[in-house]
């Protein structure tokens, strides 16, 4: 069914089309995958010593298309396939995307068109890698940022190419943020992916947990990080954490505690940039705080960009923790799905990330999260599980149909999708959504 060669041929075709462009405008999405795929395309133009310009956007709507009508050359990255409006563009257009295609116009490099699932087998950054064949580490960062974990199919092929190029290595380890950079207590206190009930955000809980077994937190006056621990100590800590999580009925979280981690060997070691997952959080922090250009600058290793991103990262992680702790307490069971109404509490820029991180109780149902987008409009984010998708769930399709019925716009992937609807149509939307599950 899936035709890898045809996909790769299309990628090559897209590259040839790109190399015929004189100075394209690269339009990319503002999340982690959008920033890494945009930067990946930009890095190719720089390697070739060619001109380009860039613009990060939150969504590709009719208003934006109107602005773009006069552009002679556009490369869309991590968006475009889901926007029928782009049929109106008459210039030279290339689309490098992994969202479910809703039209056939323009040259599109998109894994969906060749039988692959763009929600789990390849992200936009991976697609951009197969087009441009450069900066493979950014391809990995985008995949991890879009929660395409563990990497399989086309993602796996990209990973193996990265390993053989000496730019990436993979190993099995604890997956908490800050393995290399945070003292043990902070590692637990600030854990958000997975969220550790009883530990995340709870200092007493962390102290109690760590003093429960004899791992010294300091060597001399230096606080120890997870990577400072001996192999034996690491095993002890991981199994205590797994036990803690399963006693708190978070089997999902405990299964995500340990897994494959990716080290980016050509980035500064010992910083967030050397770990694919930490790099992806940093990019989300930039994009979701309206500093997309800073995220791209970090990807392109511009001087001073990493340092500047640190403040944003701290702020982003604080917002995530607050969002998660709200979500854990306020998610309701609506029968066929879980509903998290976070309007006015969680910003629309992180609602999707939070929805993907909270997995209250069993995950036999998708979660639908609501936030306020702008006056009179609700931003919806919905997340499923791989098991649900394997059983036939397609949230992108459900959302685009349910939205069409209430005058909204939505779509995305089978496992994760988003939409905007008018606030006064929420009840109708919920009925439409539930009836399609
Ligand atoms: Mn994406």
The answer to whether the CB of 382 falls within 8 A of the CB of 437 is no
Region 105-116: mean pLDDT is: 97
| Domain boundaries along the sequence of the chain | 4-150, 174-323, 334-436
Compute the average pLDDT of residues 94-110.
Answer: 96
pLDDT band for position 245 (50/70/90)?
confident
Q: Report, as an integer, the average pLDDT of 203-221.
A: 88
Each residue's pLDDT tens digit, 146-161? 988 889 999 999 999 9
Name the CATH code of domain 334-436 (choices 3.10.310.40, 3.40.605.10, 3.50.50.60, 3.90.1150.10): 3.10.310.40
Provide DSSP, 259-288.
EEEEEETTSPTTSGGGBHHHHHHHHHHHHH
The percentage of the chain sitting over the pLDDT mark of 90, rounded to a whole number, equals: 68
Q: How far apart are CA 241 and CA 276, in angstroms?
A: 22
Handedness of CA 390, 262, 309, 328 (dihedral sign): positive
Least confident of 63-67, 105-109, 177-181, 261-265: 177-181
Positive or negative, the Cα torsion across 390, 284, 89, 94? negative
CA of 121 to the centre of ligand 1 (A): 11
CATH number of this structure's domain 4-150: 3.90.1640.30
**What per-residue confidence (pLDDT) applies to 343?**
96
Mean pLDDT of 304-328: 90
The two tokens of residue 412 are 């995305």
CA 112 to ligand 1 center in whole angstroms:
13
In this structure, the chain runs to a length of 437
For the chain, give the mean pLDDT.
91
Burial 76-98 (b: 16+ CB within 10 A, else e): bbbbbbbbebbeebeebbbbbbb
| pLDDT, mean of residues 411-430 | 93
CA of 68 to the centre of ligand 1 (A): 21
| Residue among 261, 287, 258 at smallest CA distance from 275 | 261
C-alpha of 364 from chain center: 22
Q: 283 and 277 in contact (C-beta within 8 Å)? A: no
Q: What is the pLDDT of residue 227?
A: 84
Strand, helix or coil at 301? coil
pLDDT at position 360, please? 43
Q: What is the pLDDT of residue 361?
A: 41
Specify whether the CB–CB gap between 420 and 379 falls below 8 A.
yes
Helices then strands, counting H and E runs in the chain, come out as 17, 15
The confidence score (pLDDT) of residue 298 equals 98
**Cis ω before 194 (30° cut-off from 0):** yes
Range from 219-223, 306-310, 365-369 carrying the lowest mean pLDDT: 219-223
Structure tokens, 302:
């511009």
- Residue range 45-51: mean pLDDT, rounded: 97
At 359 the pLDDT is 55
Question: 197 CA to middle of ligand 1, Å?
Answer: 29
Confidence class for position 362, pLDDT limits 50, 70, 90:
very low
Instruction: Using the mean position of ligand 1's atoms as its centre, give its distance from the Cα of residue 147 in Å.
Output: 10
142 CA distance to ligand 1 middle (Å): 7
Q: What is the Cα–Cα distance from 426 to 232, expressed in whole angstroms?
A: 53
98 CA → ligand 1 middle, Å: 7
What separation in Å is there between the alpha carbon of 148 and the centre of ligand 1?
A: 10
pLDDT tier at 86 (50, 70, 90 boundaries)? very high
Q: What is the model's pLDDT at position 253?
A: 67
CA of 75 to the centre of ligand 1 (A): 15
């Amino acid at each position: 069914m899936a035709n890898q060669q045809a996909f790769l041929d299309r990628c090559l075709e897209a590259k040839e089309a790109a190399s015929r462009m004189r100075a394209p405008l690269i339009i990319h999405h503002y999340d982690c995958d959008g920033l890494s795929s945009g930067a990946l395309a930009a890095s190719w133009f720089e390697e070739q010593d060619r001109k380009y310009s860039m613009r990060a956007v939150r969504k590709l709507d009719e208003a934006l298309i109107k602005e773009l009508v006069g552009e002679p050359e556009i490369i869309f990255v991590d968006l475009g396939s889901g926007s029928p409006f782009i049929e109106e563009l008459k210039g030279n257009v290339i689309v490098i995307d992994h969202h479910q295609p809703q039209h056939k116009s323009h040259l599109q490099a998109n894994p969906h068109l060749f039988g692959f699932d763009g929600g789990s087998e390849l992200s936009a950054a991976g697609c951009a890698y197969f087009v441009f064949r450069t900066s493979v580490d950014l391809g990995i960062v985008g995949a991890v940022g879009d929660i395409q974990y563990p990497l399989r199919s086309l993602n796996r092929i990209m990973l193996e190419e990265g390993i053989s190029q000496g730019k990436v290595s993979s190993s099995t380890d604890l997956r908490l943020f800050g393995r290399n950079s945070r003292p043990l207590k902070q590692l637990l206190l600030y854990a958000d992916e997975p969220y550790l009930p009883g530990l995340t955000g709870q200092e007493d809980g962390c102290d109690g947990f760590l003093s429960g077994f004899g791992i010294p937190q300091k060597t001399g006056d230096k606080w120890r990080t997870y990577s400072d621990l001996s192999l034996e100590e690491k095993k002890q800590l991981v199994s205590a954490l797994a036990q803690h999580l399963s006693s708190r009925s978070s089997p999902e979280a405990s299964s995500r505690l340990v897994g494959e981690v990716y080290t980016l060997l050509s980035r500064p070691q010992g910083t967030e940039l050397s770990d694919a997952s930490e790099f992806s959080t940093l990019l989300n922090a930039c994009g979701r705080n309206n500093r997309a250009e800073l995220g791209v600058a970090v990807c392109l290793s511009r001087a001073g960009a990493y340092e500047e991103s640190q403040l944003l990262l701290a702020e982003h992680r604080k917002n995530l923790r607050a969002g998660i702790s709200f979500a854990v307490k306020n998610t309701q069971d609506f029968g066929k799905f879980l509903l998290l109404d976070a309007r006015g509490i969680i910003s629309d820029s992180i609602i999707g990330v939070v929805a993907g991180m909270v997995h209250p109780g069993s995950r036999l149902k998708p979660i639908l999260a609501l936030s306020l987008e702008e006056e009179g409009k609700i931003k919806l984010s919905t997340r499923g599980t791989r098991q649900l998708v394997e059983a036939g769930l397609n949230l992108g399709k459900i959302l685009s149909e349910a939205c069409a019925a209430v005058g909204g716009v939505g779509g995305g992937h089978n496992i994760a999708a988003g939409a905007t609807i008018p606030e006064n149509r929420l009840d109708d939307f919920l009925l439409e959504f539930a009836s399609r599950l």
